[in-house]
Amino acid sequence: MFFAILLTAILSLIGGYFLVLGKGKVVKKIQKFGPVIAFAVLMYAVFGDLIPEILEEEELELKTVIILVSAGFIVCAIIGKLLGKFHHHNDIHRHNHKKQEIETHGDKELKSKAQAYTMLAVDSIHAVADGIVLGTSFLVSPTTGLSACLATVAHEIPQEIGDFSIMQRARMKTKEIIKLQTISSLVIVPAATIAYFVGDSLVEMLPGVLAVVAGFLLYVAFGELVCIFESLKK
C-alpha cells in the first residue's frame, strides 16, 4: 500500500514537472495561457469532481455543503490577504533601495506570490483528503485501493499543471516550485497511512473536508479569473 500511494503522489506531479522543466512549443503555449488553463482546471475540480463526490455520499445536505464551501472561500481569502501582507513586509525590507519599482510592479507580484502560497496550502489540505480516500480504499481491498490510486493520478495531473502555472507566474524559482509542490503532494502518504490504520472514523469527516477544500479552490479560481480580465485589458 505504502509504495502504491507514494507512486501516486509522484505520478500526480508529472504534468507540473513537464511544465516547469520543458522548453517545447506546447509548454510555451501552456505557459502563455496559464491563467485560463488554471481557471478551467480549478472550476472542473470544484464542480466536476469535489461537489458531485460530496453530494453522491448523501451525508451532507445541499445547504450544509453551500455553507462549508462559502466558509472555505472566506477563510482562503483571509489567508491570501495575510500572506500578501507578510510578503509585502519582507519585500520592503529586502528591496528598500528600489522603492519606485516596488510601487509600480510590487503589488501585482505580491498578489501573485500570495496566490501561489495560498494554492500550496490548499494543495496540502487536498492531499490530506485524497490520502483519507486512498487509505480507506485499501481497507476495502488491494484492488479497490489501486483503482483509487489511478483515479487520483487522473484528476491530479491536470490540476497540478494549473498549480505549477500559478507558482511559475509568481516568478518563483523552478527548484523552489518543484520542492514545495513535491512536499505538498507527499502529504498524501502519511494521511493515507493514518487513515488505513485508524479506519472508518475519518471517512465520516471526509465530505466536510472536501466541501471546505472546494471553497479554497473556488477562491483560487476567482484569483485566476481576475488575472484573465487584467490581461484582456492590456
Residues 6+ apart with CB under 8 A from 125: 209, 212, 213, 216
Examine the pLDDT at 179 and tell me if it is beyond 70: yes
Quote the pLDDT of residue 66: 93
Q: Does the reported pTM lie above 0.75?
A: no
Examine the pLDDT at 41 and tell me if it is beyond 90: no
Instruction: Give CA 119 to chain center in angstroms.
Output: 5
Q: pLDDT band for position 68 (50/70/90)?
A: very high
Q: pLDDT band for position 69 (50/70/90)?
A: very high
Residues 6+ apart with CB under 8 A from 119: 163, 166, 167, 220
- Inter-residue contact 122 to 144 (CB < 8 Å): no
Q: pLDDT band for position 91 (50/70/90)?
A: very low
pLDDT mean across residues, the chain? 76
Q: pLDDT band for position 142 (50/70/90)?
A: confident
Examine the pLDDT at 105 and tell me if it is beyond 70: no
Quote the pLDDT of residue 112: 65
In the chain, where the domains are located: 2-92+104-233
Quote the pLDDT of residue 86: 44
How many angstroms separate the CA atoms of 66 and 46, rounded? 12
Q: pLDDT band for position 24 (50/70/90)?
A: low
Q: pLDDT band for position 64 (50/70/90)?
A: very high
